[in-house]
């Protein structure tokens, strides 16, 4: 289809130092605050790609026309860390947590991660896919046009492959882009040494043969995988050419940032309690830091100081951590509002971290900017000032969504 969006405040996010073609490069340092604003402009979309961007364009005879009336037009959000494939658990455990119960007590009572794993194992692939589609549609209405989705709640080959199969099935049906990730290093059942060895030696090969090319992820934490087990898993995945990611330092320093840098991991996520010196080393590298402020908001944990990381010149992305057993927040505008209030980011930094940089963290170099030749994932806001994304919370600031060049119904 041909679509012309007229009289918009266009956040192109195009870097002045980069010329098309070529993959969109992530931003760091002062470039993290460059939104490439065209104060009043037209954007022409044809065959799923941006055809032209200019202060004024002629109206093609076959074009559908949207008058933005000065409102903000920007790239769709890229949510690069979610757990959106799972089963919503009863809220009893959360209520006990609010009353002051410790996580260990909740787990012993059959709640928390244990309950989430049991729920996933009891669900069919069709049921998992249906629940995922509902959550992705909610994300799309809030402007997320690309979403990473992790497995991780199966804890064995059968159920991890079931989760990944459900994610893959939905990826062919959803209007946006789904990026599956095999979170094989998530939690431990039984003897830690035996369990982690089995996941590395047996489950990982079965997963990469059925789902070639998927990124492999691990969660380094006291209630997750120890650092040495994460290293073994990620080393083997990397040896077979798979992208690797890791979550670390959510509740306490683990030393995993140093190991992730040695392994050239694509990203290190969470980082709420990361050691300052390790964060500086991460900022000096080409590995992304993915910050998850909605996770801190939901759990009551401290917020990571993403602003310091940005000032140190690091590659920074934002994501939701959204999932029925993780963080019940599907809105990237809400994540931006939290990041500006609690993580020390400017509005511009948070927008870049939720679009261009989040796409680059997933290895996607065809989106996140509005310039000719790029994939057309766009959102038109209700607002004429992009700062409203951070100032407002609780309502949906997104009016229209264009996904792969197609204007989606309201």
The stretches of 91-172 forming alpha helices (DSSP H) are: 92-98, 103-108, 112-122, 125-141, 157-171
Residue 17 pLDDT class (50, 70, 90 cuts): low
Per-residue H/E/C for 365-384 = CCCCCCCCCCECCEEEECCC
Predicted pLDDT of residue 94: 87
Tell the residue number behind the tokens 């130092």, with chain if given. 17
Structural domain containing residue 374? 2-75+366-407
CB atoms within 10 A of CB 308: 15
Under 8 Å between Cβ of 180 and 208: no
Compute the distance between CA of residue 30 and CA of residue 11 in angstroms, rounded to an integer. Answer: 17
pLDDT top residue among 110 and 85: 85
Predicted pLDDT of residue 335: 98
pLDDT top residue among 207 and 90: 207
- The pLDDT mean for the chain works out to 95
Whether residues 87 and 69 share a domain: the answer is no
Whether residues 40 and 187 share a domain: the answer is no
CB atoms within 10 A of CB 404: 17
Compute the distance between CA of residue 231 and CA of residue 247 in angstroms, rounded to an integer. Answer: 12
Predicted pLDDT of residue 27: 97
- Read off the pLDDT of each residue in 354-364 and give the average, rounded to a whole number: 98
Q: Is pLDDT at 402 greater than 60 in this prediction?
A: yes
Whether residues 329 and 207 share a domain: the answer is yes
Question: 335-355: buried (b, 16+ CB within 10 Å) or exposed (e) per residue?
Answer: bbbbbbebbbbbbbbbbbbbb
Whether residues 95 and 37 share a domain: the answer is no
Predicted pLDDT of residue 166: 98
Per-residue model confidence as pLDDT tens digits over 199-258: 999 999 999 999 999 999 999 999 999 999 999 999 999 999 999 999 999 999 999 999
CB atoms within 10 A of CB 277: 10
Compute the distance between CA of residue 230 and CA of residue 218 in angstroms, rounded to an integer. Answer: 6
Under 8 Å between Cβ of 23 and 88: no
Residue 15 pLDDT class (50, 70, 90 cuts): confident
Last residue of a domain, one of 339, 361, 383: 361
How many domains in the chain? 2
Give how far the C-alpha of residue 6 lies from the chain's centroid of Cα atoms, to the nearest Å.
Answer: 30
Whether residues 71 and 82 share a domain: the answer is no
Under 8 Å between Cβ of 53 and 12: yes
Whether residues 13 and 139 share a domain: the answer is no
Among candidate residues 369, 354, 397, 360, the one with its CA nearest the CA of residue 53? 369
What CATH number does the domain containing 16 carry? 2.30.40.10
Among 106-120, 150-164, 330-344, 387-401, whose mean pLDDT is lowest?
Answer: 106-120
Under 8 Å between Cβ of 207 and 184: yes
Tell the residue number behind the tokens 């330092």, with chain if given. 249
- Read off the pLDDT of each residue in 186-202 and give the average, rounded to a whole number: 96
Last residue of a domain, one of 361, 377, 399: 361
Find all residues with CB under 8 Å of 283, minimum gap 6, and list them: 289, 309, 312, 313, 314, 315
Q: Is pLDDT at 21 greater than 70 in this prediction?
A: no
- Read off the pLDDT of each residue in 271-279 and give the average, rounded to a whole number: 97
- Read off the pLDDT of each residue in 366-384 and give the average, rounded to a whole number: 97
Predicted pLDDT of residue 23: 92
Whether residues 61 and 125 share a domain: the answer is no
Whether residues 245 and 145 share a domain: the answer is yes
Compute the distance between CA of residue 242 and CA of residue 216 in angstroms, rounded to an integer. Answer: 7
Residue 16 pLDDT class (50, 70, 90 cuts): low
Per-residue model confidence as pLDDT tens digits over 284-313: 999 999 999 999 999 999 999 999 999 999
Under 8 Å between Cβ of 176 and 377: yes
Per the omega criterion (within 30 degrees of 0), is the bond before 21 cis? Answer: yes
Tell the residue number behind the tokens 């920007």, with chain if given. 74
Predicted pLDDT of residue 18: 54
Crossing angle, helix 112-122 and helix 157-171, to 10 degrees?
70
Pairing verdict, β 2-11 and 72-75: parallel
Structure tokens at 382: 């209700």
Whether residues 113 and 195 share a domain: the answer is yes
Whether residues 104 and 68 share a domain: the answer is no
Q: Is pLDDT at 20 greater than 70 in this prediction?
A: no
What CATH number does the domain containing 115 carry? 3.20.20.140
Q: Is pLDDT at 377 greater than 90 in this prediction?
A: yes
Per-residue model confidence as pLDDT tens digits over 310-337: 999 999 999 999 999 899 999 999 999 9
Whether residues 333 and 210 share a domain: the answer is yes
Predicted pLDDT of residue 123: 97
Whether residues 349 and 380 share a domain: the answer is no
226: left (phi over 0), alpha (psi -120 to 50) or beta: beta
Under 8 Å between Cβ of 74 and 379: yes
């Amino acid at each position: 289809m041909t679509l012309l969006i007229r009289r918009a405040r266009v956040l192109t996010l195009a870097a002045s130092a980069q010329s098309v073609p070529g993959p969109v490069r992530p931003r760091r340092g002062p470039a993290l605050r460059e939104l490439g604003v065209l104060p009043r402009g037209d954007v022409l979309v044809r065959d799923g790609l941006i055809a032209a961007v200019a202060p004024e364009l002629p109206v093609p005879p076959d074009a559908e026309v949207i008058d933005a009336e000065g409102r903000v037009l920007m790239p769709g959000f890229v949510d690069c860390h979610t757990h959106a494939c799972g089963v919503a658990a009863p809220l009893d455990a959360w209520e006990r947590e609010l009353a002051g119960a410790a996580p260990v007590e909740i787990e012993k009572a059959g709640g928390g991660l244990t309950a989430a794993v049991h729920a996933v194992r009891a669900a069919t692939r069709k049921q998992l896919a249906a629940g995922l589609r509902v959550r992705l549609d909610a994300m799309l209405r809030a402007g997320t046009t690309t979403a990473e989705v992790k497995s991780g709640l199966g804890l064995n080959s059968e159920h991890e492959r079931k989760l990944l199969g459900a994610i893959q099935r939905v990826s062919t049906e959803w209007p946006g882009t789904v990026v599956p990730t095999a979170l094989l290093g998530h939690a431990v059942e039984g003897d830690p040494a035996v369990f982690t060895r089995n996941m590395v030696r047996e489950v990982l090969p079965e997963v990469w043969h059925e789902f070639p090319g998927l990124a492999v992820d691990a969660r380094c934490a006291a209630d997750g995988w120890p650092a040495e087990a994460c290293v073994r898993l990620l080393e083997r995945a990397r040896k077979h050419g798979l992208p690797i990611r890791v979550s670390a330092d959510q509740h306490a320093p683990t030393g995993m940032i140093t190991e992730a840098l040695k392994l050239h991991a694509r990203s290190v996520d969470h980082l709420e309690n990361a050691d300052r010196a390790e964060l500086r080393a991460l900022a000096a590298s080409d590995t992304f830091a993915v910050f998850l402020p909605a996770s801190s908001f939901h759990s009551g944990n401290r917020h990571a100081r993403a602003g310091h990381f940005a000032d140190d010149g690091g590659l920074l992305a934002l994501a939701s951590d959204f999932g029925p057993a993780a963080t019940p927040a599907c809105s990237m505008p809400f994540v931006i509002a939290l990041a500006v209030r609690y993580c020390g980011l400017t509005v511009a930094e948070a927008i870049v971290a939720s679009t261009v940089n989040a796409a680059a963290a997933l290895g996607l170099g065809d989106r996140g900017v509005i310039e000719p030749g790029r994939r057309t994932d766009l959102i038109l806001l209700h607002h004429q000032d992009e700062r409203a994304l951070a100032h407002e919370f609780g309502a949906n600031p997104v009016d229209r969504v264009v996904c792969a060049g197609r204007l989606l119904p309201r």
